[in-house]
Amino acid sequence: MAAETLLRGRVLRFVSEPKAPDDHGSYLFDEDGGVLIKDGKVKACGAFASLRVTAPDATLIDHRPHLILPGFIDTHLHFVQMQVIASWGAQLLDWLNNYTFPAETEFADPAHGARIADAFFDEMLRHGTTTPVAYCSSHPQSAEAYFTAAAARNMRVIGGKVMMDRNAPPALCDTAQRGHDETEALVARWHGKGRAEVAITPRFAITSTPEQLEAAGALARAHPTCPVQTHLSENHDEISSTLGLYPKAKDYLDIYHSYGLLGPRSLMGHSIHLSPREMGVMAETGAVAVFCPTSNLFLGSGLYNEAGLAEAGVRRAIATDIGGGTNYSMLRTLDEGYKVLALRGQKLTALKAFYWITLGNARALGLEDKIGTLAPGSEADITVLNPAATPAMALRHARVETLAEELFLLQVLGDDRAVVETYAAGVARKPG
């Protein structure tokens, strides 16, 4: 009989999107709770006393008084940009040309890719993130490095080889056919194997010819379980350049729609400057608008309209967008997201914030049956948080009276120091 592990602590998990700052019906919380783990999955979750009776021989790991939550999910980032983060830049297109493309060229070397992939997953786990959704470079060996490093840690991940065949250095350009074939080979090798999914990944319309977007659409039709990820309406200059390349398009989103790249598993990074028509099409197709607050602020791209997208019925997610984003932490991302929405006259409540980086992002990925919930049968990806991790946090925590206040403290002041442990498939994985 396989051994069981019982985590004890203050257990929080969401069941629906919070509609108000005090929407207590949106979550389940056990002040003295537990998560029973067997074979990498959650066997049961609830009151500790009850779980201990049912599993008296389980190995006990006592995390009290810390919070136990589902592992964080990051829905848009570039693992190949780890050495680009914190590079001074002007706007998006300049930043890509001056920093990103030269750095990504180095991923032609498999040894370089393997080294960065190991560092990347160590950072994910250090910051409490158990599922990243990443862009690799245009080199298939970069995707091999990504999936290999993830498999070594038994992490659930999504990733894809970037497809781009123009408006980039020759060393980074594939062709429409090669981008298709290399992606298809990755799908055959990795998609659905272990805990990996391969995303069809045209970088964005500026760096793909119509022929390449047609090839990406063919991949999406041939492999309907594969997510699609790309960029949309991040920056006004980007939008203008894109429409110049596709003059027959109704708008930016229409380009992707016309090639069959919109659907319930399509992740549209940024989605800041959208027209009402574009919002309507996103709602109709189920495509996801991914909020990347630290990147949007760093590059001066604009302010994401969470309330407007929600009102239009658009599905939404939130992400770090490393390396345009400025921090690996989903907690820091929530802090900056709060500020972006405040400038819009909107508010990101603490309950909504932690819903978003757990169940909300899981739903955006169509993976809520596997991650984001701590429900029995789900994968045991878990993050343990200490809201009094630093002296400043401890001082504020002494005045905390409610769960929402405690979460907001983590949202505003938390970072990797607040992450006590990160479990991937039930195994403690946070680097020392």
CA atoms within 13 A on the CB side of 19: 3
Q: How far apart are CA 336 and CA 412, in angstroms?
A: 8
> What is d(CA 419, CA 129) in angstroms, rounded to the nearest whole number?
10
- DSSP output for 370-385: TSSS--TTSB--EEEE
3 state SS of 400:
coil
Check pLDDT > 60 for residue 227: yes
Q: If you search the block for the tokens 């981008």, which residue do you land on?
A: 179
- Per-residue pLDDT reduced to its tens digit, 63-91: 999 999 999 999 999 999 999 998 887 66
Contact 232, 268 (CB under 8 A): yes
Give the pLDDT score at 87. Answer: 84
Helix (H) or strand (E) holding 222: helix 210-222
Mean pLDDT of all residues in 359-384: 98
Closest CA to 364 of 291, 294, 296: 291
The average pLDDT across 400-413 equals 98
Q: Which pLDDT value is given to residue 39?
A: 97
Nearest CA among 123, 151, 120, 152 for reference residue 136: 120
Asked whether residue 360 carries a pLDDT value surpassing 60, the answer given is yes
- Judge whether residue 1 has pLDDT over 60: no
92 confidence band (pLDDT: 50, 70, 90): low
- Assigned token pair, 79: 């693992």
- pLDDT tens digits for range 160-170: 999 999 999 99
Q: Beta 27-38 vs 41-47: how paired, if at all?
A: antiparallel
**What is the rounded average pLDDT of the residues 240-267?**
98
- 181 CB contacts (<8 Å, ≥6 apart)? none
pLDDT tier, 417 (very low <50, low <70, confident <90, very high otherwise): very high
What's the mean pLDDT when you consider all of the chain?
97
**pTM for the structure as a whole:** 0.97
- By the 8 A CB rule, do 217 and 260 touch? yes
Annotate 314-347 with b (16+ C-beta within 10 A) or e (fewer).
bbbbbbbbbbbbbbbbbbbbbbbbbebbeeeebe
Q: Exposed e or buried b for every residue in 123-159, given b needs 16+ CB within 10 A?
A: bbbbbbbbbbbbbbbbbbbbbbbbbbbbeebbbbbbb
Q: What's the rounded Cα separation, in Å, for the pair 135 and 101? A: 13
